[in-house]
Amino acid sequence: MTNLTDSQRDELAGRLAARRQTLRAEVQRELANSDDPRIVGFKNELAATEDWVLADILADLDIAMVTRDIAELAEVEAALARIDDGSYGTCSDCGQPIGWPRLNAQPTAERCIACQEKREVRSGRPGHPTL
Ligand SMILES: [Zn+2]
């Protein structure tokens, strides 16, 4: 259940898809410039693959310079998957619709503000600016 209009959802989907392209390009560029021996073996596969299964492998390698991009990429992919399966815009914890202002500011948001804040208190992570 979501309170987004079709055009709002389409706009966010477009922005997420664009962000995915940017992040993929960024990761590939960073890897291409790396001489980390763990990466060298992946370079050809990365250049050749359109499906992004290697992201999991790269995440496991925990390569500092791409870790943040990979993490964001995973969030973007997850959001796009939720758009596909129709669960996008619904809080994964309480099932309430996530408001347009929050999604507009953070299209990868998976939870409503209340649930996100609860999680951050529990996990002890510093809070993100919320909307
Ligand atoms: Zn919630």
Give phi and psi for 88, each to the nearest 5.
Answer: -60, 140
Rounded to the nearest angstrom, the distance between the alpha carbon of 73 and the centre of ligand 1 is 23
Burial class (CB in 10 A: 0-12, 13-18, 19+), 66: buried
Rounded to the nearest angstrom, the distance between the alpha carbon of 93 and the centre of ligand 1 is 5
pLDDT of 96 = 95
Task: Give, as one character, the DSSP assignment of residue 111.
Answer: S
In the chain, the percentage of residues whose pLDDT exceeds 70 is: 74
Rounded to the nearest angstrom, the distance between the alpha carbon of 42 and the centre of ligand 1 is 39
Position 129 in a domain = no
Rounded to the nearest angstrom, the distance between the alpha carbon of 9 and the centre of ligand 1 is 19
Rounded to the nearest angstrom, the distance between the alpha carbon of 30 and the centre of ligand 1 is 36
Give phi and psi for 116, each to the nearest 5.
Answer: -60, -40
Rounded to the nearest angstrom, the distance between the alpha carbon of 97 and the centre of ligand 1 is 8
> Could you read off the pLDDT of 59-78 as tens digits, one per residue?
666 677 788 888 899 899 99
Position 46 in a domain = yes
pLDDT over 70 at 49, yes or no: no
**Which range marks the domain in which residue 74 is found?**
6-123
Report the CATH number that the domain containing residue 116 is assigned in CATH.
1.20.120.910
pLDDT of 31 = 79
pLDDT over 80 at 95, yes or no: yes
Task: Give, as one character, the DSSP assignment of residue 90.
Answer: B
The whole-model pTM stands at: 0.76
pLDDT of 128 = 55
- CB within 8 Å of 42: residues ≥ 6 apart: 31, 54, 57, 58
Rounded to the nearest angstrom, the distance between the alpha carbon of 103 and the centre of ligand 1 is 13
Mean pLDDT for the stretch of residues 7-23: 96
Question: In total, how many domains does the chain have?
Answer: 1
Name the token pair of 40: 């060298």
pLDDT of 57 = 63
Position 128 in a domain = no
pLDDT over 60 at 1, yes or no: no
Position 130 in a domain = no
pLDDT of 68 = 86
Dist. CA 46–CA 78, nearest whole Å: 20
Position 11 in a domain = yes
Position 1 in a domain = no
Question: Over the Cα atoms of the chain, what is R_g?
Answer: 17
Rounded to the nearest angstrom, the distance between the alpha carbon of 87 and the centre of ligand 1 is 13
**Beta partners for 97?**
90
Position 73 in a domain = yes
Rounded to the nearest angstrom, the distance between the alpha carbon of 54 and the centre of ligand 1 is 31
Position 17 in a domain = yes
Q: What is the average pLDDT score of the chain? A: 83
User: Does 110 or 130 have the greater pLDDT score?
Assistant: 110
3-state secondary structure of 49: coil
